[in-house]
Amino acid sequence: MIQSKVKLSHISIDELLEEVCDEYPDASYDYKKHLVQISEANHTVGYIRIPLHLSIDSSLTIADEETTVLYLTIESGNAAICIMQGTHQVFHTTFSSYMTRKKQGFSQIKYLNKKGKSRAGSRVRLASTLDFFENINATLTDLLETFEVERIALDCNKTLIPYLYQSSVACPFDKKDTRLYKIPLHIPQSNFTNLKSTIKKLESPVLFCNEASQTSLEYFFGGLN
């Protein structure tokens, strides 16, 4: 089980990948999760989360330091989009909608799934929900036509995913789009401030390792500078 986490921001990414290749020749790259898996004797002992603005190939060589990434975070009633070219922000916007029942504090979608019916206020919230996703998808379509996006980083609750992909305004990418990347960090609220903070955290490499290999891996990576 992977347990420990060590920041590797003190090491240049070029040196980091070069040293990993030399020390762990069985290391491999997982494109979907954007991780370098560290293996010994056919067992994964840890992995390195690579900054998303960097594109690397199967030989663990940096192919592009200015990858264009679209970040999207969605929760009930709030969403934010940001496009980064390398570490430079080139676009951002936010969305808001009346989707939450004030007294109960949960979204209209959860209410309808629970009650199976809709009154006047609920119909207003549902209409607002549909508009919310239509606006998001319309914006996404424009952005993907404007920018050559290489990765799409997504943070979205599972209950909202169907509304994203089944909107009357089609989502410009599908669930199997190879560019999709699930944001591995918790975003407490889908606003631009929190999304920007998350992007900043994803700009540095991080080592994750299991307890048995923690000492040796921390010693090895700690000695790099």
* pLDDT tier at 28, thresholds 50, 70, 90: very high
Question: Contacts from 83-86 at CB under 8 Å and sequence distance 24+?
Answer: 83/143, 83/147, 83/149, 84/53, 84/199, 86/53
For the 68-201 domain, the top CATH level (class) is: alpha beta
Q: Token pair of 115, please?
A: 């009650």
Each residue's pLDDT tens digit, 159-172: 999 999 999 999 99
Cα distance between residue 195 and residue 93, in whole Å: 11
Asked if the model's pLDDT at residue 11 lies above 90, the reply is: no
Mean of the per-residue pLDDT values for the chain?
88
Question: Average pLDDT of 21-40?
Answer: 94
CA-to-CA separations, 160 to 25, 63, 110, 113, in angstroms, rounded: 41, 34, 10, 12
The dihedral built from the CA positions of residue 63, 65, 68 and 73, taken in this order, carries a sign that is: positive
Sheet of 78-85: strands edge to edge? 88-96, 78-85, 68-75, 151-156, 180-182
Domain boundaries, the chain: 2-51+204-222, 68-201
Residue type (1 letter), 118: S
pLDDT tens for residues 103-151?
554 455 555 555 544 555 566 667 778 899 999 999 999 999 999 999 9
